[in-house]
Structure 1
């Protein structure tokens, strides 16, 4: 299991192998914004400050957005511990 730290709320939760960030947050009781859960509405968009993620299917993010650290939490899984910014 890996650990995710959500800033600025300073909330921490665990994520299992293959589980999406959004599913892990909701399972931990975190009120994480979401609507479609397929990467279309962008409500779950957050910024990765530390760590590595991966997607089964590449999200609709530009190369620049990905380089800036933007992540669709409903589609991303953790390859390492993560620090995410959700404002």
Structure 2
């Protein structure tokens, strides 16, 4: 299954194939996406979900409040639906 991700505020769309993380899909499509460690330790790829759902093999180090606010680690996140994500901190 191929899912679509919209990256805000740039309104860039890219696709994620089954078994790919959001970060891997963005980098494979030559998109500039903040990242460093790719294992959820540095928080460089942290972004906010505006709509959609993700799942993780290993649950990231997010507080309940951060989860409720929609924060996700794109290096660990596998989309379960189409996503709209925002890279800007609000």
CA deviations over 1:39-68 (Å, ceiling 9, x no partner): 000000000000010000100000110010
Q: Which aligned runs of 4 or more in structure 1 are off by greater than 6 angstroms?
A: none
Q: How many residues align?
A: 87
Structure 2, unpaired ranges of 5+: none
State the SS of the aligned residue for 1:12: strand
Tell me how far 1:28 sits from its aligned partner.
Answer: 1.1
Over aligned residue pairs, what C-alpha RMSD do you find? 0.5
Aligned equivalents of 2:28 and 2:68: distance in 1? 28
| Structure 1 length-normalised TM | 0.98
| Structure 2 length-normalised TM | 0.95
